[in-house]
Every structure is written in C-alpha cells, then in structure tokens.
Amino acid sequence: MRRALVLVLLATTVAVMPPAHAEKKKKDKQAEKEKAAKPAPPPAPPRTPGPDDAKAKAALEKIVAGPDRAAREAAIKELTALAPNAIDTIGEWLARPHTASIEERRAVLNEIKAQVPDKTGKFSTPQRQNAKERKADDDLDWQPKLLELDPSMPGVGEVIADDAAIRALSATKDVRAAKPIFDAAFLEETMIYRDECGRYLRKLEPHSIPLLTKESTAKNYDRKRYATFQLERLDRQEPGKALASAAGNEALTIAILETFQSTKLREAVHAVWTKVNDDAPRIRAAARTAFMDYITGPPPPPAPKKKLQLPGGKLTKKEKPMYLTYRELADNELRTAANELLHEDYPLDDPTLGDYEGTSKTVKIDQVELAKRLFEFYDNDRRQKDSAQWLAAKAKADAGDLTAATQMLDRLLATNPQRGERENMALIYAKWGKQLEEKQQWPEAAAAYSKAHGLDPKGKGATHALAAHHYAAGKALEAAGKDGGPDFRKAVALEPDFESSSGESSSSGLGSSSTKPVWMLYAAIVAGCLAMLLFAAAMVRRRA
C-alpha cells in the first residue's frame, strides 16, 4: 500500500512538472519574440569610393580573365600594391555573387589537394599535428599551385582572384583587413576558402588580434570556435600576450584595449590594469577608460555555482561560484594596488574558496573612488620623475653638455610630447642647432632647429628657428651636391637679415645661390639683345 502511494505521488509530480526541453523551447520562443520586437538598425550610409577602388577592381577582373600565368602574376602584383588604399572594395569584391559555382571552385581546390570544408563549414577530422606539421601547414602556398592549373578549367580564374584578394588584404598589415578575411570564412560563396582565410589571418598578426579577440567572445559558436583556434595557433589567446604582440605600436595597442573594453573579456582585467600607468599618454588613457568600464558598466552575469571538491575529496557544504566575474577581478586588482602603493589594508576575498558558514566579512570598497586615487598616485609619481629628468637634462645643458641634454630631452618627449617645459626645451634645441651649425654638421643642425620650432612654434625665437632650419637644410643639400636654393630663399623670406645673424658671409651658399639666377637672367637678356642686333643687321643688308 505504501509503495503504491509513493508511485502515485511520483506520477502526479512528473505529470505536473513541465519537461526540461519544453521549458527551453518556451525560453527560445520568448527570446525570438524579443529579438523580433527590436527595431532593425538603420542601413549604413553608402561608402564613399576610395581613390584606388576602380583600379583594384580592374586588377581583380584581370586576374579572373587571365588568360595566362604571366598576365595573372602581373595583375596580382598590381593588386597587392593597391590593396592598402582599397581594403573595403577588395572585401566587397570577395563577397560578391560568383559566376563559377561552388562545386566548380571546390573541384579546383581539390585539384591542388587543398583542405576544403563541407557544406556546413566543417573539415574532416584531422590527426593531431606536431610542431613541424603545423609549420608546414602555415607555410603552405596555394597560389603557385593554382597558377600551374589549366587556365581553361572551369572556375580557376575566380579561385585565383579570390585567393589573391585574401593575400592582398593580409599583406596590408592593417587592422581593418581582418574583418573581410574573417567574414569570407563564413559566407556561403567563400566558405570553401576557410583554411586559407585562417592561414592569412595568422599572417596578418598582430593586426588581426583585435578582430580575433572580439570574435572569440561572439555568441555564434562557429565564429567563436574559429577565432579561438586562430588565437591558440598564434599563442595570443592570453590577453597579456595579445598586448605584448603590439609592443611599439601605439595605435594597435589602443585597438586591443578597446576590444577588451567592448567585450568585457574577463581574462583581460589584469592585462588592462598593467597599462593604466603606461609611458604613452594615449595608451594610458585607453587603459584607464577600459578599466573604469569594467567597474562602472553593466553588471556582469553571475558565475554559475556548484559544490566544489575540497582537499580530501569532500564537497563544500554550500554551492560556490565557479569563477570570479570581471568586476570581482577588477575589485581585487584595486585592492592589491591600494595595499601595495597606498599602504592600506583591504583583504582580498575569493568567494570560490573556503567552506565557512555565515556572511563574508570582507570590507567593501568604493571602486570608482579608489581607482581615481590610484590614478592620481600614478600621475603624481610620474610628474615627480619627469620633473627630475627635466632638471637633470637642464643641468647638462647649463653645463654646456648639449649632446647629453638633447638626448635626454628626446627620451622625455618620446613618452610625452605635450610636456609643460616645451618652451625651455626649445631654447636648448636652438642652442644645440647653433653648435652643430658651427661644426658644419648641417643635417643634424636642421633637425635640431626643426625640433626647436616644433616645440614652441609661437615663441619669440620661433621665426629664427624656422629660418635657421631652412638655412641648415639648404647647406645640407648643397654639401650633398644638390640645389639648396629653395631652402635658402625660404630662410631669407622668413628673416631678411638672417644671413648676417647666422654668422655666414655673403659668399656662402645663401649668397651664391641667390646670385645664380640673377647672372643667368642678365646673360639671357644680353643674348636676346645680340640676336635682335644680328637680325636687324641682316634686314639692313637685304634692303641694301
């Protein structure tokens, strides 16, 4: 009787509870309704054609037409040269409706034994590659094999042109080139080139890192997996390594930081924090903006929980978060930095550890306020160091060691061009230029005067510095056996008495270059007069 009652209760419970898949379908339908309810984004404005767009399209059409290997190689070379100024149009051309069918182009690729995915974009399961095999795969070159095929083979021209477009985009070493290559790996018309797209995305590294990082967090599983695979092959999946790959390239570093900011990549929190005190002002600003977005932007979704296994095999009494969210990681970065730099005592709490009962006693912090205090600490420390370096450079200049002083100033300006001591720095560079001028080191003197004018273009000595720059540049050209006249004339136009103030005699390059056109003019006038006299004499004789 008791067993029967239990069975009845279980049956009733099962009948009442909706099946899990039905609940999932309900959520999916609700999500689809919400997506459909959202207004469609406005269409993008038409793109303004670039100066080389028409030439790039013509080069691509030449590659398709052939008719032979030599003609195609010449067109490929032309396309590669045009690509940096025609990235958008090459990407659009790659995504065009093709004349040759997919099956015809697949047959072309099979002819050179290329790896081609099936209709769903999947490759046959490959064997695990060792390092040597991976290197050989990266070095694989489709183009020579394609060019060796019979030109009359259906679809061969379009395959060669598509491959040339992918290669030309990669050769630009431009961040914008990554997207059309990546998209080509997923478009129905160009999916058969997925292996080649991956190869040239890797060759585009580090400029492909921002796009691959963004796609590695995409909601689309296939795009996410493909991007992650490329990052793993490049060993750039770890955010710190991604930033390191852009070392020395300020624009690329900022692009990677902006990608971390837009994707809220959890693993990138520490990498972003390492750049908030970077020497380059623009990188520093981008890193701080990204980090502040981690702590002030939309809250992250909570981490999934489960009972974790403790040493000894026991499970925690309560379910624990399986990882820290990006905001919790940012909070720990702030605590660590404050403890180290501000000598405060903020305990770090990891909710995934321990098996204590009750509530956490961790001291909560005002993340925004603490971040601002840390940024101010970094800025004050930088100002003190910069001030000390400037004073050291000034001391060298006052002691007459202008060579060492200007070298120190070069380093200071490389990290921060907008320094407050620019006017005083300009004076040092002007003195250095004068010293080099006296030694007749004209190219170096021209550069020194140029820096002096660039640092203080509206100061009292700006006009003289610019005139001296042109004069030294003219002398450098003259010493190299070239015409320095245009620069000499610019110097005199800026400062008429520059010749005497510069300490040069009138017989120097300035005087000689200005007299050359004068005597030539007089010679031309005399020659013209003689010609007229001869003509008149001839006419008189004829009349006689």
Mean pLDDT (10-residue bins), the chain, 544 residues: 49 44 48 56 74 94 93 96 96 96 95 87 68 72 93 94 97 97 96 95 96 95 95 95 95 97 96 96 96 95 87 84 92 95 86 58 87 96 90 92 92 83 91 91 92 91 90 89 88 74 38 46 68 68 60
Residues 6+ apart with CB under 8 A from 277: 284, 378, 382
Same domain for 335 and 456?
no
Do the Cβ atoms of 445 and 471 come closer than 8 Å? no
Q: What is the largest CA-CA distance in the chain?
A: 156
Listed residue (182, 251, 190) closest to 220, CA to CA = 182
Single-letter amino acid, residue 384: Q
pTM of the model: 0.76
Same domain for 161 and 58?
yes
Cα 411–413–414 angle (5° rounding)? 65
Q: Report how many domains make up the chain.
A: 3
Same domain for 357 and 454?
no
Single-letter amino acid, residue 17: M
Q: Backbone phi, then psi, for 41, in 5-degree steps?
A: -65, 145
CATH code at position 473: 1.25.40
Same domain for 252 and 166?
yes
What is the pLDDT at residue 496? 81
- Distance between CA atoms of residues 256 and 261, nearest Å: 9
Listed residue (186, 193, 83, 182) closest to 143, CA to CA = 193
- Distance between CA atoms of residues 508 and 489, nearest Å: 13
* Domain C-terminal end among 255, 273, 291: 273
209: in domain:
yes
Same domain for 112 and 241?
yes
What is the pLDDT at residue 64? 95
Same domain for 454 and 357?
no
- Distance between CA atoms of residues 171 and 173, nearest Å: 5
Same domain for 62 and 198?
yes
Provide the token pair at 495. Answer: 């400062």
Residue 321 pairs in a beta bridge with 305
36: in domain:
no
Peptide bond connecting 206 to the previous residue in cis, omega within 30 degrees of 0: yes
What is the pLDDT at residue 508? 38
Report the sign of the C-alpha dihedral through residues 211, 212, 216, 218, in that order: positive
- Distance between CA atoms of residues 227 and 201, nearest Å: 10
Same domain for 360 and 405?
no
Provide the token pair at 369. Answer: 């306020």
Same domain for 76 and 164?
yes
Do the Cβ atoms of 209 and 245 come closer than 8 Å? yes
290: in domain:
no
If one counts every other C-beta atom within 10 angstroms of the C-beta of residue 459, the result is 17
Same domain for 190 and 58?
yes
Same domain for 78 and 177?
yes
Do the Cβ atoms of 326 and 269 come closer than 8 Å? yes
Residues 6+ apart with CB under 8 A from 72: 62, 63, 66, 147, 160
> Which residues form the domain of 480?
400-514
- Distance between CA atoms of residues 508 and 437, nearest Å: 13
Listed residue (251, 212, 241, 250) closest to 229, CA to CA = 212
420: in domain:
yes
284: in domain:
no
7: in domain:
no
- Distance between CA atoms of residues 145 and 455, nearest Å: 56
Same domain for 221 and 334?
no
* Domain C-terminal end among 273, 308, 328: 273
246: in domain:
yes
* Whole-Å CA distances, 36 to 22, 29, 33, 132, 221: 21, 10, 5, 49, 21
392: in domain:
no
